[in-house]
Amino acid sequence: MLLRGGKVFKGYFKDPESTEKAIDKDGWLHTGDICEIETNGAVKIIDRRNNIFKLPLGEFVSPEKIENVISSHEWIQEVFVHGSPDKNYLVGIIVPDYL
């Protein structure tokens, strides 16, 4: 998501380096959110850019999205998904909920 306007964001307090990373030369704030536009025109935030990594075969993976799907099952208490850009697979740790 990119935003621009007088009331959006002027920068980080006493942190010009972070401000330069967030706001491009044309004044657009790069929020880091990944969005999709719904059929009714609403903007839906679906993920964060820094939560996505690319596997060696070019696939983009969002571990948080996978974790949310898995953890929605009633028998799952906790889940952690990890991947690396130099591996063709993901690793998951699941804590079952026996109660």
Q: How do the domains of the chain map onto residue ranges?
A: 51-99
Neighbour count for residue 28 (Cβ, 10 Å): 15
Contact 79, 63 (CB under 8 A): no
Two structure tokens written together for 44 = 């839906």
pLDDT digits (tens, 9 = 90+) for 2-47: 999 988 988 999 999 999 999 999 999 998 888 899 999 999 887 7
User: Which pLDDT score is estimated for 48?
Assistant: 73
Among candidate residues 66, 68, 69, the one with its CA nearest the CA of residue 55: 66
